[in-house]
Structure 1
Amino acid sequence: MKVTGRIFTIGLISAWYSSNIGVLLLNKYLLSNYGFRYPIFLTFCHMTACSILSYIAILWLKVVPMQTIRSRVQFVKISSLGLIFCLSVVGGNISLRYLPVSFNQAVGATTPFFTAVFAYLMTLKREGWITYITLIPVVTGVMIASGGEPSFHLFGFIMCIGATAARALKTVLQGVLLSSEGEKLNSMNLLLYMAPVAVAFLLPTALIMEEDVVGITIALARNDVRILWYLIFNSALAYLVNLTNFLVTKHTSALTLQVLGNAKGAVAVVVSILIFRNPVSVTGMLGYSLTVIGVILYSEAKKRGK
């Protein structure tokens, strides 16, 4: 039984790694190499898949028990989280149009910094001084990586920073808004309610800001039907990221997920460089390495602080 359990856990972790890195690389391929320059519509496809597949997984397959929304106030809170979650995904997808995956991951590694800032601003929660010191190499590493990045793009960098900050804000807000026992939702049920909110926001936004995107996508599909399969597979992967993230946490621990996440970023960087062959500098890699070391130290300091 123990061997079977280990094989199952290893399989889950492999699926989590594959889906995370896969959706990141496929996003980059579609938005940059393939020429499908519609990040908002791409995010709309992701959120639509998350809405449909969440419904199937929870209501039909009973992957997790269904949790209901108990009040209008709770719905407003969840909708707010859905909007912020949506902005973080859109920002991340936009940044991939302009930045290589390696640099995108370096900037994304600064999430703990923004989480600590928002936690202090919104809850006045202070960490130990050692925890704050560990954030110095996190930020310094990104500054060094930015200076040494051959493919640096200011707008892409701003979008990536915005996406990272929005992701951290959503995490902190989730703890604040859904803090009471009656309002807490597991991540899969939260996605079930957040994704349709994101779809409702993204559809008109894509139609307005990415003019005739539906017609262009249909025209692309007539010339190359693979675009439809790319979008369907990519959207399914986006849901699988959330599902495997939940299952890995459930079958291991949040700390294990954090450690695996740090390693995943490094794996994604190496794989993306091998596939897309984007130029990298020694300075950039040193900066990213410093950021990862800072994140590991931050995680260790947080663990000891508890």
Structure 2
Amino acid sequence: MKEVSGRLFTVGLVTAWYSSNIGVLLLNKYLLSNYGFKYPIFLTMCHMTACSVMSYASIAWIKMVPMQTIGSRIQFMKISALSLVFCTSVVSGNISLRFLPVSFNQAIGATTPFFTAVFAYIMTVKRESWLTYVTLIPVVTGVIIASGGEPSFHLFGFIMCVGATAARALKTVVQGILLSSEGEKLNSMNLLMYMAPIAVVFLLPATLLMEGNVVGITQALARKDINIVWYLLFNSTLAYFVNLTNFLVTKHTSALTLQVLGNAKGAVAVVVSILIFKNPISVIGMFGYAITVTGVVLYSEAKKRSK
């Protein structure tokens, strides 16, 4: 009975992880593209504000994980640098959703292992096995094929999405370098609690400088359609739950299970987005995406064998 309840709990966690990930992605697309709320930096700032408040509440009040403290000014500077890279990734990803369908966005996002391997080699001179590098060929080739067959291809959106993917990979590598000593390691929930408010500090001037009177515009929109307020609140809450469920799934499953589930999540997001937004797709585009996903699976297998 205990084993069955444990499995049901894990299934529930994975379902919540998938739902929050895909939900925030689709809602971002709806707001930035279909609804016409063209303020990706402000949207990201809303996400980070929610993550600041809710991660502090989860740790300080609910005691979900023990609170870890920042031990030095140097560690604070390292976390700030991580936060800046994180901001770049999220903002670029949100900007790309204004111009690209979710399906193509996910295809490009699947190339994260390629950028991770490149940055790891450049910054740490860490060499992988030759087989691992070979598996990266279909990862990149698939996206090139998908790009050529994408009916809704947009160059600026494509550049933003590649930038977001590269920044996401850079954060992973930089985090491993900067917070590598035992005294500086933070679990992902504590790291988010410190990174999110720093991100708000970065994003606030960027919002005011690049998106003008976005607060006034949002208030004017709310007077016409109060739903925008609920969309932003729900979207920001989902952004926190993406991080929370990712942490819980990582804690309650193996690294291999997480990799498999992560690969499948992208494919599920593609199918759901096509069903909801009905964006045009081509056989070539889907073929390219399938090659990329296959490459990611092979890459994960090669990494596991090389350990």
- Report the TM-score range of the alignment, normalised by the length of the smaller protein: over 0.9
- Between the two proteins, the alignment pairs up a number of residues equal to 306
The answer to whether residue 42 in structure 2 is matched with residue 41 in structure 1 is: yes
Q: Report the secondary structure of 2:258's partner residue.
A: helix
Q: Report the secondary structure of 2:182's partner residue.
A: coil
2:217 counterpart residue number: 216
Q: What amino acid is the match of 2:279?
A: N
User: 2 CA distance for matches of 1:194 and 1:203?
Assistant: 14
2:204 counterpart residue number: 203
RMSD across aligned C-alpha pairs, in angstroms?
Answer: 0.4
User: 2 CA distance for matches of 1:253 and 1:43?
Assistant: 30
Deviations 1:11-65 (Å, cap 9, x if unpaired)? 0000000000000000000000000000000000000000000010000001111
User: 2 CA distance for matches of 1:253 and 1:167?
Assistant: 22
Residue 256 of structure 1, CA deviation? 1.2
Q: What amino acid is the match of 1:293?
A: T
1:241 counterpart residue number: 242
2:194 counterpart residue number: 193
Q: What amino acid is the match of 1:39?
A: P
Residue 254 of structure 1, CA deviation? 2.2
Q: Report the secondary structure of 1:220's partner residue.
A: helix
Residue 255 of structure 1, CA deviation? 2.0
1:135 counterpart residue number: 136
1:151 counterpart residue number: 152
User: 2 CA distance for matches of 1:197 and 1:256?
Assistant: 32
The answer to whether residue 291 in structure 2 is matched with residue 290 in structure 1 is: yes
User: 1 CA distance for matches of 2:205 and 2:130?
Assistant: 45
2:70 counterpart residue number: 69
User: 2 CA distance for matches of 1:195 and 1:141?
Assistant: 34
Q: Report the secondary structure of 1:70's partner residue.
A: coil
User: 2 CA distance for matches of 1:9 and 1:281?
Assistant: 36
Q: Report the secondary structure of 1:2's partner residue.
A: helix
Q: What amino acid is the match of 1:243?
A: L
Q: What amino acid is the match of 2:39?
A: Y
1:53 counterpart residue number: 54
TM-score, normalization by structure 2: 0.99
Residue 141 of structure 1, CA deviation? 0.2
1:231 counterpart residue number: 232
Q: What amino acid is the match of 1:53?
A: M
TM-score, normalization by structure 1: 1.00
User: 1 CA distance for matches of 2:60 and 2:159?
Assistant: 39
User: 1 CA distance for matches of 2:44 and 2:162?
Assistant: 18
User: 2 CA distance for matches of 1:18 and 1:254?
Assistant: 20
2:4 counterpart residue number: 3
Deviations 1:235-273 (Å, cap 9, x if unpaired)? 000000000000000000222111101000000000000
User: 1 CA distance for matches of 2:300 and 2:90?
Assistant: 24
- Point out 4+ residue stretches in structure 1 off by more than 4 angstroms: none
User: 2 CA distance for matches of 1:77 and 1:241?
Assistant: 23
Deviations 1:205-264 (Å, cap 9, x if unpaired)? 111100110000000000000000000000000000000000000000222111101000
The answer to whether residue 171 in structure 2 is matched with residue 166 in structure 1 is: no
Q: Report the secondary structure of 1:3's partner residue.
A: helix
The answer to whether residue 184 in structure 2 is matched with residue 183 in structure 1 is: yes
User: 1 CA distance for matches of 2:87 and 2:50?
Assistant: 14
User: 2 CA distance for matches of 1:47 and 1:87?
Assistant: 13
Unaligned runs of 5+ in 1: none
